[in-house]
Amino acid sequence: MREADLHIPESSFEAMGIGDLLSLTRAAGLVELQELSCRGGGAVIQSTVETRYDEAALDDLDYVETWTHIAARDDAHVYVISFTAPDVPDAVGDAAEALIGTCEPSVGADGATMSLVGPQTAIAQLVTEYESAGVSPDLQGLTDHTGTASPLADLTERQREVIETAWEMGYYDVPRSVSTDAVAAELALDASTVTEHLQRAERNLLSTLL
């Protein structure tokens, strides 16, 4: 198993067709961005910004399926945004399915960084598909991924939070004590997002254990 660190320059967001979304996010004062789930050429992200988005402009982006302003803090606003990058081919999503995990992206002044974990052939295929789509990822490091003593450490932070909450609430009891909707309500997330996190966490745990 291998782990690759990729940097995607900001110019590549234009190639993906999501440059306007990034511009709106920066204009609102990006504090933190978390990837809640990936699906093909799209994603569900949690964006923490200093001021509210230009929400009318957010509505005007055809590739943004849904957005929700979920919290207002003293110094920040939190949004959950679901989008599908219009210029990313399905082949990118297909290649990503062969990976065990995609780390939480970190967005900086000059682009984004992410870490990919999986077989080297799968990582190479995803990089190739990105390049074919006009995205220019810079491979900054490729190392052996040996895992850790705890299989949970191979999950993303969000996957671990969701599966641990589900366990504590009785989702895995026999018979099941709570529904996906109840877990979603506890985490203030959409039920479909929780379902996807649970499925990916379970897949990653089984991949590690088996």
If one looks up domain 151-209 in CATH, what number appears? 1.10.10.10
Q: Alpha-carbon distance 103 to 170, whole Å? A: 27
What is the pLDDT tens value at each position of the chain, 210 positions in all? 788 888 888 888 888 899 999 999 999 999 988 777 666 677 888 899 999 999 999 999 999 999 999 889 889 999 989 998 898 888 887 777 777 666 556 777 788 888 888 888 988 988 898 888 888 888 888 888 765 545 666 677 788 889 889 988 989 888 888 999 999 999 988 888 888 888 888 877 776 655
Q: Could you give the residue range(s) of every CATH 1.10.10.10 domain in the chain?
A: 151-209
pTM for this predicted structure:
0.64
What beta strand segments (E) does the chain contain? 2-9, 30-39, 42-49, 64-72, 77-84, 101-102, 106-108, 111-118, 138-144
Q: Alpha-carbon distance 3 to 144, whole Å? A: 6
